[in-house]
Chains A and B, each alone.
Chain A
Amino acid sequence: MRKHKTDRFIKVLLLCSGLLFSAGCLRGCTSSRPPIHVNPNMDQQPKHIPQSSSEFFYDGAAMRTPVEGTIARGTVIDNPAFTTGIGQDGGFVDSPIQVDETVLARGQDRYEIYCTPCHGETGDGQSMLQDRTGVQSADLLQERLRSMPDGQIFDVITHGFGLMSSYAYPLSPMDRWSVVAYVRQLQAQGQLPQLQGTPEETETEQPAPLENQ
């Protein structure tokens, strides 16, 4: 009688440890299935947040491109020299903006985010891109670029050139002109320009939100 009870106890113990063992085994395993999520808690809602997918459209993207030719509120209008860098005569224009410290600070800020990876901090083309891949990008300090009209640099940022893609989507026209101004300063000094104050300080002076440009 007693023996029978012990057997049963051992069996249960074995079963439990077996379960524990296999659970431990599963813990370390990877699974291609998404994690267990018991309480839905409105984590997924029937709406489209940015960059979500939609089965409705043939390309699966819920983000749509605006119809060509439409103009949103807040877009700079009736100033083609400012938005394209090309004047009425078809030639490139000089920078249409008044360059001051806030513009340069904004230009430096944008330059360091979007341009430094390829063109380097000083604009000499010595960059992370070259270090890692050996691909040489343009030296912004070379004579050809120094003599280039402002509008042409603006045009390259807008449409891209060679391997470089367009930077129109993250940089508003005002930001692009600020970058042009900053590049001009790099060219003039041939080294890191000495701005008054640290970038952090100057940044707060002129926030210039992107969507307003």
Chain B
Amino acid sequence: MQGRQYWRSIERLLESPAIKEMLSDEFPEGASDPPRDLDRRSLFKLLGASMALAGLASCRRPEEKIVPYVNAPEGIIPGIPKQYATTMPWGTTALGVVVESHEGRPTKVEGNEMHPTTQGAASLWMQASILSLYDPDRSRNVLRRLAEEEESEAEQRPQEDSEEEEEPDTDIERPQLIRSNWDEFEAFWEEESARLEQQGGQGLAVLSRHYSSPSMARMMNRFRQRFPDSLWVAYDPAGESNILSALGSPETVIQPHYLFQRADTILALDCDFLLTEGDAVAAARGFSLGRNPEEGSSSQDESSESIGSGSSKMNRLYVIESTVSLTGANADHRLAVQSRNIPAIVERLAALVKNPSSREGELTGEIDERIRTIAHDLRNSDAPLVLAGRRQPTRVHAQILEINQVLGAIGKTVLLNSNPDARFGTVQDLSRLTDAMRRGDIQTLAILGPNPVYTAPADLDFKTAMQRIPAIIHLGSHVDETAIHSHWHLPEAHFLESWGDARAADGTVSIIQPLIAPLFSGRSVLDLLILMAEGPGRQAYDVVRETFGEGAWEKALHDGVVASQSSAGDPTSPEPVEATALPGESVVQPEAAPVVSPEGLEIVFSVDPSVYDGSFANNGWLQELPDPITKITWDNAALLSPSTGEDLEVENGDILRLELEGRHLEAPAWIVPGQAHGTVGLALGYGRTRGGFIAEGVGVDAYSLRTSRWPDVAGGLKVTKTGGRYRPAQTQEHWVMEGRPLVREGSLSQYRQHPGFASEPEEHLKAQPLWEAPEMTGQYQWGMTIDLNKCIGCNACIVACQSENNIPIVGRDQVRNSREMHWLRVDRYFTGPPESPEFVFQPVPCMHCENAPCEQVCPVAATVHDNEGINAMVYNRCIGTRYCSNNCPYKVRRFNFFNYTNSFPEIVKLSMNPDVTVRSRGVMEKCTYCIQRINEAKLKASQQDRAVQDGEIQTACQQSCPAQAIAFGDVSDSQTRVSTEKGSPRNYTLLAELYNQPRTSYLAKIRNPNPEWPESSEA
């Protein structure tokens, strides 16, 4: 294929002997071994499993009870799920979701097709939030610290008085928390608030997350009226405060909203807009819609109207960044540059955009030439868009605004909306709070949601600052690092359990309606704020209703979007802001943006692409989700470029000691092709010491190196090898398909000249079937296409599949043995030189071969073909020979080596999809094309005496895909979307020479490189 070589890891490229040995085995070493060196997690799981087996030894069928509704609610037919629209708050924006509810239990989160931030798609965090709802380690009770006089008494009392879930702790510093209840807290607060009210709120401080909610804003005003001298600080380790500070202030928030679909030339500077920043779902949708290589075709998507006119153009993405983000991996041209050098690049770019002939500044040579090319392309573009990531300082964002103004992007590809309901804060605000705490100015501190002991920059030492405060109230979902140092811990309700509202960055307002009553008597931040501002009485529901009034309330709940009205003073209409009215660069004080030290190595902290900022750390789906670039699960690592690795003589898995400003941390090294030379990347969100069974002890705590001066990018890092080795559980080399043209790609110009480049290699094949093909006479013939040009590799499909199909997690040790159960994997290939590779992502589910090799070898007919072309698994017949997995050339079959599901706590059972079998030990499983969804649609159609319509069935992966890369439907009908896509010249199948006739096919990836791009002198 075009002479390109694709490789999955550095070892593969260099053909190291170890990897050659590993590849000579079809299955990775250990895949068939019994478990060794059990980690705590697996051990408990096995214990649970063996106990369950002991229970079965009685050989009697367990007794089951039928428990019907006592008062059956209207509209619920047992067995038929219902959908509810609600909203997931996400920092200063909001994600519209539709949640499937089985008999009043939420089981699956999808995007809301009526909400512009999701348009029916769902990010991996939206999907995984369902598991967080049913997290067995969630905080269950109000806890109260014993007063000193009580403490001596309690020592004599038996142990059961103390919090049950707590293990006996050796931490002597930690005060004892005992179980309490909301009544006791309300009584406490009544007394406390009366005292505080008399002082005008002096001595009261509130620490909240960033939020964007009309009702929160109203209650916040009321709180201000009641306690005028109180201090309110919002802190979010993954927040966008640098961007928002450049546009407005915490009091008048102005948010950028990017229209990626309209943009034809995009430059992202250290900005992962496709996954971890801003409205990533809408960004990915817009980006993929603007990336249409077909000539003359108009945008086929109905959701285009909400974004603006569709374009048949193919956009071009430039990315300049330090660590490899998902956005960088999708770039047409990517420059690996240290994050601390990006301000200089932005300055140069600003000069070039204003005056193309401006002379060279700090930058010279090759990099300057490339910046000039980018600036030239941006200036010549009809719809340019420049954006910078949240780790870049405020002054960079002020310059970006200026660049967009000069380019004419404001109003075209960038909209600026004022958001009266949002609140954010900076690290400086947090440091002002800790200063006040140290001075003894704060007597009462209410922490509404965040976990500052874990997430605050290390130099602020939030934990010791807390010691001087006589009353700390903590509202949180877990008894976490902050909770154990508080006087009151209150369980926080999940968003699926509470009433509320939220405003997205584009101005869309929507209501949060609960799917289930709080499982653990938790209350939301809004609930608690109402209590604090007004005292007991009103509920969140009353306040939200008051915010929106009577009109169209039912419709807002039903649709999940509050219809915008033009009347003045209406809380739902967004106010566009004129660019000229913006403060621009004048707001940026030089001292607020200290220049990062150019010495030593640079360390870049980034939000983790699976556990985010650590708030999802106790979520097993996310812990086991491979990182899109490194493919590491259950850990984070210090990411180095190949050249930096060479300089330091470091190999994958060497434990490094990272030293920054007197603090140090030990982390395993991982070499990432494409990383900037001299940059060490470290993901936040790991190394939790408290926060749940799954979260604790996984990875290293990057927060412990962060300082308040340089929380995101810091220089002067010292790295030394400790000599230790650690092997992260990594899926990169699992399930390989050796040396065949599996991913196919071409450039746009190549495609225009030679459209059939992807499918032609198959034409010369004259393969014959080895066996008789099954008869496929069904009314429908199901098939799938995956468009590699659209796929951004975000992993949302993996989590969607896991949630829909009851796929268990197996733990780090089992992943090392290649026993991960994901039915759908996303392969990541590198191509090109290791220092500046290009990336390709390829999702691989079961191919549903018409001549399936797996079916031929099953001795018990457990995998058979149905007449609609589906390669079906009959779990009950399976005896676990694993012949089918051996014979599958795509390596998409997964085997239950253990009974991963039998040790589920009762609460996790509630999250299971009742329509899908929960598999047991010794059973093979794989992608079923979501057969439960197919059958549901077929039943509904036959009830209504019609055929299933195209688009009526969406597989879970297809539905969640933000980029709409997956199409599914009836391939025997030429009018369906999947048939249209299969007719594309880019269509090809994997391993066509085997004559398996897969029903799943791929569309080749098309890149859009700039023909004027200066080639690297090294190459």
Contact = CB atoms under 8 A, between A and B. Distances in A.
Interface of A: 33-38, 40-56, 59-67, 69-75, 77-78, 168-170, 172, 204, 207, 209-211
A77 B560 CA distance: 13
A204 B946 CA distance: 12
B944 A207 contact: yes
A206 B906 CA distance: 42
B172 interface: no
A74 B906 CA distance: 31
B796 to A, nearest CB: 22
A33 B60 contact: yes
A144 B594 CA distance: 85
Contact of B79 (A38, A46, A50, A168): A50
Interface stretch (B277-285, B331-339, B509-517): B509-517
A44 B69 contact: no
A72 B62 contact: no
B17 interface: no
B76 interface: yes
B69 A34 contact: no
Q: Which of A71, A77, A172, A204 has the most CB of B within 10 A?
A: A71
A49 B914 contact: yes
B914 A63 contact: no
Given A34-B60, A211-B77, A47 B806 contact: yes
Contacts of B634: none
Contacts of B98: 73
Contacts of A47: 806, 909, 912-914, 918
Interface in B909-927: 909-910, 912-914, 917-920, 923
A45 B917 contact: yes
Contacts of B940: 209
A69 B540 CA distance: 12
Interface of B: 56, 59-69, 71-80, 82-85, 98, 101-105, 513-517, 519, 541, 552, 554-555, 557-558, 806, 875-876, 901-902, 904, 906-910, 912-914, 917-920, 923, 940, 943-945
10 contacts: A34-B62, A59-B67, A63-B103, A66-B84, A71-B513, A72-B82, A72-B83, A168-B74, A169-B76, A209-B943
A68 to B, nearest CB: 9
B67 A52 contact: yes
Nearest to B53: A40
A73 B558 CA distance: 5
Nearest to B514: A67
B105 A169 contact: no
A76 B777 CA distance: 40
B73 A66 contact: yes
B517 A71 contact: no
A53 B67 contact: yes
Given A62-B67, A172-B75, A209-B943, A48 B557 contact: no
Given A49-B914, A61-B68, A209-B943, 7 more contacts: A42-B917, A50-B103, A62-B105, A65-B104, A66-B515, A72-B83, A169-B74
Contacts of A78: 552, 554-555
Contacts of A71: 84, 513, 554, 557-558
Given A41-B876, A66-B104, A70-B84, A46 B67 contact: no
A55 B906 CA distance: 7
6 residue pairs, one from A and one from B, having the closest CB atoms:
A64-B104, A50-B78, A47-B912, A169-B72, A37-B61, A63-B103
Contacts of B515: 66-67, 70
B917 A46 contact: no
A74 B908 CA distance: 28
Q: Which of A35, A47, A51, A63 has the most CB of B within 10 A?
A: A47
A52 B64 contact: yes
Contacts of B60: 33-37
Nearest to A66: B104
Contacts of A59: 67
A56 B59 CA distance: 25
A168 B72 CA distance: 9
B84 A53 contact: no
A61 B557 contact: no
A54 B104 CA distance: 13
Given A37-B59, A70-B84, A44 B101 contact: no
B918 A73 contact: no
A94 to B, nearest CB: 22
Nearest to B98: A73
A122 B79 CA distance: 33
Contacts of A169: 69, 72-76
A48 B914 contact: yes
Nearest to A31: B60
Given A53-B64, A56-B907, A64-B517, A72 B73 contact: no
A204 B945 contact: yes
Contacts of A70: 84, 513-515, 557
A207 to B, nearest CB: 5
A210 B940 CA distance: 11
A63 B69 contact: yes
A38 B101 contact: no
Contact of A65 (B69, B513, B876): B69
A114 B104 CA distance: 24
A46 B904 contact: yes
Contacts of A55: 906
Q: Which of A35, A60, A75, A204 has the most CB of B within 10 A?
A: A75
Contacts of A72: 75, 82-84, 101, 558
A51 B917 contact: no
B80 A211 contact: yes
B1008 to A, nearest CB: 39
B105 A73 contact: no
A168 B71 CA distance: 10
Contact of B906 (A36, A56, A63): A56
Q: Which of A40, A41, A60, A210 has the most CB of B within 10 A?
A: A40
A75 B514 CA distance: 16
A45 B84 CA distance: 26
Given A65-B104, A207-B944, A51 B68 contact: yes
Contacts of B908: 46
Nearest to B513: A70
B63 A64 contact: no
B67 A44 contact: no
Given A38-B59, A53-B67, A72-B83, A62 B516 contact: no
B69 A48 contact: no
Contacts of A34: 60-63
Nearest to A72: B82
A63 B558 contact: no
B85 A73 contact: yes
A78 B554 CA distance: 6
A63 B104 CA distance: 6
Nearest to A35: B61
Contact of A75 (B541, B558, B907, B912): B558
A209 B101 CA distance: 18
A34 B907 CA distance: 26
B61 A43 contact: yes
A120 B64 CA distance: 37
Contacts of A48: 102-103, 105, 909-910, 912, 914
A77 B555 contact: yes
Q: Which of B72, B79, B806 has the most CB of A within 10 A?
A: B72
Q: Which of B63, B84, B555 has the most CB of A within 10 A?
A: B84
Contacts of B61: 34-37, 43-44
Nearest to B68: A51
Contacts of B910: 48, 54, 56, 62
Contacts of A43: 61
A66 B76 contact: yes
A50 B69 CA distance: 10
Contacts of A49: 79, 914
B67 A210 contact: no
A169 B514 CA distance: 21
Contacts of A46: 901-902, 904, 908-909, 912, 918
